[in-house]
């Protein structure tokens, strides 16, 4: 019996159309725009000005505040402007635009493909290197990686869990990365274990990626204390708390961090970025993005520099199909529809999904029939229909009591609702309002 999490979960159609396609590099356009807020936390301060020459890897945005991550130039060229630019939500945020000239890397970066296994740095040195490289959670939440590696006082990490689940339908970027960069990821995991001072790492992979599981199993012999754990195909298996439950059978209490049960979860993409940052001095300037959709001519996994507009990626995959109804940044379950395809790739862009008009249309919401399907599928054990109603009537105290802040926004409730009620939309509103109220109360 394969392991999985206890509560709820759904099984949407996988539609991994781009599964077999190797990662291809995408050409750099003549101009890229790099947003200064690509992570959870405070946006970066620009440290370049108009007219400055930059190389690939030059620091352009310095992190300010505790939760923040550096941003480096993904291209070489001249800073053209520092101005507000459209981000994936349609709001204008600070960004640096660079006119591209050639592809010259900073001297300290090792751009060769040779695998470097040995790492003799101390835990603190590793964490400093990761912090300066600006690595964030590559699964989409974009939480700065180095902060997860510094457990708060009084807590101790016991096990490192590597998230190679990729439970979102359509997305295959992590899958391809695991297939092509297996050893690099394993070295990255050893480095992370050293940084955290733990002696056990588990790589969780959903059982629909059997080739990745066997690849890891064959390579793992040379890496002690790392094990591979095939997991049942169930959404949201890749949720942090769900993965911890499946891998080590512990439940993170409401409102607590995973470290409270001794676990630290990192994405495989992050593990690979850690390898590159620590062993090759390479900051996070590119990532693997899946470009897919039912009518897309050539679904693919591309290695894209940060800042390249999504249109370029879509053109690479054969252009925008005529049937396009929606373009989603991320996967179909947790991704967000974007108002314009001119927005750039950021550190958190795991995929670009082009949805057909018919499938994109949301159905008219009807009355709740009280079937409790949403209650059954909620992986956090919440009551989505109640939370939606309470939010609708602004009963914020009760929304808080019903643990809206525990919602991981996986969308299982909206997916399963036979009356097509926008449960998640309302719960998200309730969650953000309650979070705001809690913060105000603390101040």
Partner 1 sequence: MSVLLSAVATLGVIGAGSAAILYFVGRKFYVEEDPRIQEVQDALPAANCGGCGFPGCASFANACVIAESLDELNCPVGGQNTMDIVAGILGKTPVKSKKQIAVVRCSGSCDERPRLNLYDGASNCSIAAALYSGDTGCSFGCLGLGDCEESCNFDAIHINPETLLPEVVEDMCTACGACVKACPKDIIELRNQGPKSRRIYVSCVSEEKGGPARRACKVACIGCSKCEQACAFDAITITNNLAYIDDDKCRLCRKCVPVCPTNSILELNFPPPREKKEKEAAAVAEA
Query: Residue numbers of the site for partner 1 (CB under 8 A)?
Result: 89-92, 336-340, 361-362, 365, 422, 425-426, 428-429, 432
Residues 6+ positions from 44 with CB-CB distance below 8 Å: 36, 37, 61, 62, 63, 64, 68, 69, 70, 71
DSSP 47: -
Q: Is the dihedral of CA 345, 111, 176, 239 positive or negative?
A: negative
For the CB of residue 90, give the shortest distance to partner 1 in the complex, in Å.
3
Q: If you count DSSP H runs as helices and E runs as strands, how many of each does the chain have, helices first?
A: 14, 17
Show the DSSP H helices in 249-356 as ranges.
Answer: 268-280, 310-316
Beta strands 159-163 and 23-25, pairing class: unpaired
For the CB of residue 426, give the shortest distance to partner 1 in the complex, in Å.
6
Residue number with CB closer to partner 1 (398 or 428): 428
Nearest to 259 by CA among 409, 158, 109: 158
Residue number with CB closer to partner 1 (92 or 156): 92
Residue that is written with structure tokens 């891998």 in the block = 247
For the CB of residue 117, give the shortest distance to partner 1 in the complex, in Å.
45
Q: How far is residue 366's CA from residue 79's CA, in Å, rounded to a whole number?
A: 52
Question: What are the b/e assignments for 230-249, b being 16+ CB within 10 Å?
Answer: bbbbbbbbbbbbbbbbbbbe
**Tokens describing residue 149:** 């590696």
Is residue 300 within 8 A of residue 314, CB to CB? The reply is no
Beta strands 71-72 and 286-292, pairing class: unpaired
Residue number with CB closer to partner 1 (90 or 102): 90
Q: How far is residue 17's CA from residue 332's CA, in Å, rounded to a whole number?
A: 13
For the CB of residue 380, give the shortest distance to partner 1 in the complex, in Å.
20
Residue that is written with structure tokens 């708060």 in the block = 152
**Tokens describing residue 157:** 């990490």
For the CB of residue 422, give the shortest distance to partner 1 in the complex, in Å.
4
For the CB of residue 274, give the shortest distance to partner 1 in the complex, in Å.
32
Residue number with CB closer to partner 1 (22 or 363): 363
For the CB of residue 41, give the shortest distance to partner 1 in the complex, in Å.
18
Q: What is the four-CA torsion angle of 363, 368, 370, 371, rounded to 10 degrees?
A: -10
Residue number with CB closer to partner 1 (233 or 337): 337
Residue number with CB closer to partner 1 (11 or 336): 336
Phi and psi angles of residue 194, each rounded to the nearest 5 degrees, phi first: -65, -40
For the CB of residue 88, give the shortest distance to partner 1 in the complex, in Å.
8
Give 221: exposed, middle or buried? Use CB within 10 Å, 0-12, 13-18, 19+.
Answer: exposed
For the CB of residue 69, give the shortest distance to partner 1 in the complex, in Å.
23
Residue number with CB closer to partner 1 (84 or 117): 84
Q: How far is residue 219's CA from residue 117's CA, in Å, rounded to a whole number?
A: 13
For the CB of residue 243, give the shortest distance to partner 1 in the complex, in Å.
26
Residue number with CB closer to partner 1 (127 or 341): 341
Q: How far is residue 243's CA from residue 180's CA, in Å, rounded to a whole number?
A: 23
Residue number with CB closer to partner 1 (218 or 364): 364
Residue number with CB closer to partner 1 (2 or 365): 365
């Amino acid at each position: 019996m394969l392991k999985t999490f206890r509560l709820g979960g759904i099984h949407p159609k996988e539609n991994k159309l781009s599964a077999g396609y190797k990662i291809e590099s995408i050409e750099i356009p003549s101009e890229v725009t790099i947003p200064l807020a690509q992570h959870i936390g405070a946006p970066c301060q620009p440290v370049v000005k108009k007219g400055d020459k930059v190389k690939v890897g030059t620091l352009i945005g310095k992190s300010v505040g505790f939760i923040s991550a550096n941003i480096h130039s993904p291209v070489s060229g001249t800073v053209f402007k520092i101005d507000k630019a459209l981000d994936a939500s349609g709001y204008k945020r600070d960004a640096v635009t660079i006119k591209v000239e050639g592809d010259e890397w900073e001297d300290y970066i090792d751009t060769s493909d040779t695998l470097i296994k040995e790492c003799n740095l101390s835990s603190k040195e590793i964490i400093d290197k990761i912090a300066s490289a600006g690595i964030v959670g590559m699964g989409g939440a974009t939480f700065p990686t180095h902060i997860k590696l510094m457990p708060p006082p009084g807590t101790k990490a016991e096990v490192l869990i590597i998230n190679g689940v990729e439970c979102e339908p359509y997305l295959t970027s992590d899958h391809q990365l695991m297939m092509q960069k297996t050893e690099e990821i394993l070295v990255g995991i050893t480095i992370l274990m050293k940084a955290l001072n733990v002696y056990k790492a588990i790589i969780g992979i959903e059982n629909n990626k059997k080739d990745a599981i066997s690849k890891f199993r064959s390579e793992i012999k040379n890496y002690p204390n790392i094990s591979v754990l095939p997991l049942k195909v169930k959404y949201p298996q890749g949720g942090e708390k769900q993965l911890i439950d499946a891998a080590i059978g512990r439940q993170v209490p409401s409102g607590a961090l995973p470290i409270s049960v001794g676990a630290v979860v990192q994405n495989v993409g992050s593990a690979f970025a850690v390898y590159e940052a620590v062993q090759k001095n390479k900051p996070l300037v590119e990532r693997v993005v899946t470009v897919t959709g039912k009518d897309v001519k050539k679904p693919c996994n591309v290695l894209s520099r940060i800042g390249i507009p999504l249109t370029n990626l879509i053109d690479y995959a054969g252009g925008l199909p005529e049937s396009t109804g929606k373009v989603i940044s991320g996967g179909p379950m947790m991704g967000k529809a974007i108002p314009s395809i001119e927005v750039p790739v950021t550190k958190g862009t795991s995929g670009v999904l082009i949805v057909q008009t018919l499938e994109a249309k949301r159905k008219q919401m009807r009355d709740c029939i009280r079937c409790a399907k949403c209650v059954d599928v909620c992986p956090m054990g919440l009551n989505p229909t109640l939370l939606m109603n309470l939010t609708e009537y602004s009963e914020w105290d009760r929304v808080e009591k019903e643990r809206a802040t525990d919602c991981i926004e996986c969308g299982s409730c909206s997916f399963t609702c036979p009356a097509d009620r926008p449960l998640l939309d309302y719960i998200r509103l309730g969650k953000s309002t309650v979070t705001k109220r809690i913060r105000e109360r603390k101040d």
